[in-house]
Amino acid sequence: MSSLPDFESLTVGAAQRACVAPLKDADIDEPVMEARLLVGFVLGGGPERVLADRDEPLSAEQALALKAVLSQRCQRVPMAQIIGVREFWSLPFKVTSATLTPRPDTETLVEALLHHVSESPARVLDLGSGSGCILLAVLSEWPDAMGVGVDASAEALDVARENSEVLGMGSRAKFVQADWSQEQWAQALVGSWGGPFDVVASNPPYIPALDIEALETDVRTHEPRRALDGGDDGLDAYRAIIPQLSVLLTDDGVVGFEVGIDQADDVAAMILDAGYELLEKRADLGGVVRAVIGKKVSKRVKGRDK
């Protein structure tokens, strides 16, 4: 990493310009925009502060703070972890190194669930909850629903609980430590937390293990590997979760998964093989199929169809 500039005595605008070269050297995409974000963060606002205060001098404290956050970003610490918050579904979510950074791709899953569940369900389950972004996004749209978020990481659950309180949904969202690689996990979850559930959502680990080293440095180095590693082919979590939907889902309940590139057909096949109806495979804005939605057909309907 190249040496960082000394920001003392610089104006806000000059400091922003001085950040650009080190960010370029660190192979950061859109270094001008990221420089503006860093300076705006240090000023105590958003990037709009850079333009408004461009002729104002940085204080000594601001100069030191800017050098610190610029150093972090040049070491490829994700911007969301530096700033500490990321917007998802127009809601602010706290982000730390214990959670995946919420991404626009995942909003595709939220959109699909809202499309297929037209009325507010009673109970929602989010498997691999991380920051809680999926569960809290759907609860914001379903005001009468209660939700349970599950994660194997106690640190991630602490972040999700804080997000639920900040967003005013602490009374409707509970977060539970559990691991779908353990036996009887689904039965224990239903027994302790009021299942089965009307909606089950999950953005599980789906990166094939050998592909992780090819991910961007920001993700590979600074986001939790456990939330990325989906086993040899990336499908281990789906194999663990889908057989348990018979326990987790109510009759006529809806399940939605986020999936990786070229995984939608495999996950859809698992849903069909388990005896559920396939409702949709939905693409994100880039044309990649990111969400697979299924439905547990009620025993009454199955019997009538025979």
How many other CB atoms are there within 10 angstroms of residue 78's CB atom?
21
Q: What is the DSSP string of 246-266?
A: HHHEEEEEEEEEE--TT-HHH
Each residue's pLDDT tens digit, 68-121: 999 999 999 999 999 999 999 999 999 999 999 999 999 999 999 999 998 889
Closest by CA position to 124, among listed 196, 197, 195, 190: 197
Question: Average pLDDT of the chain?
Answer: 93
pLDDT in tens, 150-194: 999 999 999 999 999 999 999 999 999 999 988 889 998 888 887
> Helix, strand or coil for residue 227?
helix
Per-residue pLDDT band at 123 (split at 50, 70, 90): very high
pLDDT at 302 over 60: no
Burial 234-254 (b: 16+ CB within 10 A, else e): bbbbbebbbebbebbbbeebb
135-154 burial, b at 16+ Cβ within 10 Å, e below that, comes to: bbbbbbebeebbbbbbbbbe
Do 2 and 71 meet the contact criterion of CB atoms below 8 Å apart? Answer: no
The DSSP symbol for 90 reads T
Question: What confidence category does residue 306 fall into, taking pLDDT thresholds of 50, 70 and 90?
Answer: very low
Query: Which residues are CB-neighbours of 107 under 8 A, at least 6 positions away?
Result: 88, 89, 137
Pairing status of strand 289-295 against strand 249-258: antiparallel
Contacts of residue 42, Cβ cutoff 8 Å, sequence gap at least 6: 58, 62, 65, 66, 69
Strand 146-151 and strand 289-295: the pairing is unpaired
Strand spans (E) along 134-284: 146-151, 173-177, 197-202, 249-258, 277-283
- The angle that helices 60-74 and 31-43 make with each other, rounded to 10 degrees, is 140
Query: Tokens 């909606």 correspond to what residue?
Result: 199
- Terminal CA-to-CA distance of the chain, rounded, Å? 68
SS3 state of residue 44? coil
Q: What percent of the chain has pLDDT above 70? A: 97
How many angstroms separate the CA atoms of 95 and 92, rounded?
A: 9
